[in-house]
Amino acid sequence: MAIIAKITTQKKNTERFNIFLDYGKDKGEEYAFSVDQDILISFQLKKGMELDDLDITEIQFEDEVKKAFNLALNFLSYRMRSTKEVIDYLKKKEVDDPIIPDVIHKLTEYKYINDKEFSRAYVQTQINTTIKGPEIIKQELFEKGIEQDILTKSLALFTRDEQIEKAIKLITKTMPKNNKESERQTKQKLEQTLQRKGYSWDVIQIAMEEAETEKDTDEEWEALRHHGMKAHRKYEKLDGWEYEQKMKQALFRKGFDLSLIDRFIDDIKDGEN
């Protein structure tokens, strides 16, 4: 058993107090620990009060909770966070594991964290400020520790019409101008881009149709000529049948239609005659 000998205010932080205990003749008076102002008040600590080991352990535990709580509040002051983000932050700051559940409980009780509200706000922000599709947003929320049922309800905010609209904007933004690729190859690359951005296949197909990604005949022919001449220079020393097969294979891999490829090869032959 020890008696509080004196309580002093810390110079650098006036909201924290140093507690000095008198352990009697054997040890005398010495600094024991410091506490936050709220802890001082809640435990009604004052000079002359007796404390046993259990009291001291409880006071110090609650003080650690208070310090971690303040850390979390500062972390939350910049933007909304999920519960998992706060837990990960506290662990990074080396807060002891037994302290964290008490901190999370207080934050939840005081409505500083709420995964339902966080999830809905996160989805709406992504809709308003990014071109991400729902699958990417879903993965990001999952990584932030949002439960499946909350996640699913929040993603309902991202309507199908909005997804199609954003997918069309992404197509328009990334559609290459005057490129030398075949129409099929261009479409494949656009589809792959949309998939990477998190859009579903059915939304992609609708957006591709509405975005008018088809090339006109002249553009497709010019693209074919560009790749065709490259292939011709590579295979021109081959004999007839082998030359034609190599040319067709090379240009078909580039996504060109066989009828256009045949037309190009015929033009090459006519030019040689």
Q: What is the CATH number of the domain that holds 246?
A: 1.10.10
| pLDDT on residue 77 | 95
pLDDT, tens only, 223-272: 777 777 888 888 878 888 888 888 788 777 777 777 777 777 777 777 65
pLDDT, tens only, 130-146: 999 999 999 999 999 99
Residue 23 lies in a domain: yes
Collapsing DSSP states into helix, strand and coil, what is residue 6? strand
Residue 220 has pLDDT above 70, yes or no: no
Last residue of a domain, one of 57, 79, 101: 79
Q: Are residues 63 and 20 in the same domain?
A: yes
As a whole number, mean pLDDT of residues 95-109 equals 96
Please, what is the average pLDDT of the chain?
88
As a whole number, mean pLDDT of residues 101-110 equals 97
How far apart (Å, rounded) are the C-alpha atoms in residues 19 and 63?
12
Supply 113's token pair: 């964290």
Residue 200: partners with Cβ closer than 8 Å, 6 or more residues away: 133, 134, 135, 163
Q: Are residues 177 and 150 in the same domain?
A: no
| pLDDT on residue 32 | 94
As a whole number, mean pLDDT of residues 101-105 equals 97
Residue 35 lies in a domain: yes
Residue 137 lies in a domain: yes
Residue 89 lies in a domain: no
| pLDDT on residue 75 | 97
Residue 219 has pLDDT above 70, yes or no: no
Residue 168 lies in a domain: yes
Name residue, tokens 């560009």: 226
| pLDDT on residue 179 | 60
Supply the CATH number for residue 46's domain: 1.10.10.10
pLDDT, tens only, 17-72: 999 999 887 777 899 999 999 999 999 999 999 999 999 999 999 999 999 999 99
| pLDDT on residue 218 | 64
Where does the chain have alpha helices with state H?
37-42, 53-76, 83-92, 100-109, 115-129, 134-143, 148-155, 160-174, 183-196, 201-210, 217-235, 240-253, 258-272
Residue 164 has pLDDT above 50, yes or no: yes
Residue 215 has pLDDT above 60, yes or no: no
Could you tell me which residue, 251 or 92, shows the higher pLDDT?
Answer: 92
| pLDDT on residue 273 | 41
The Cβ of residue 132 has, within 10 Å, a number of other Cβ atoms equal to: 20
Residue 103 lies in a domain: no
- The total number of structural domains in the chain stands at 4
As a whole number, mean pLDDT of residues 4-26 equals 92
As a whole number, mean pLDDT of residues 76-96 equals 97
Q: Are residues 16 and 61 in the same domain?
A: yes
Percent of the chain with pLDDT over 70: 93
Q: Are residues 202 and 225 in the same domain?
A: no
Residue 268 lies in a domain: yes
Domain that holds residue 53: 2-79
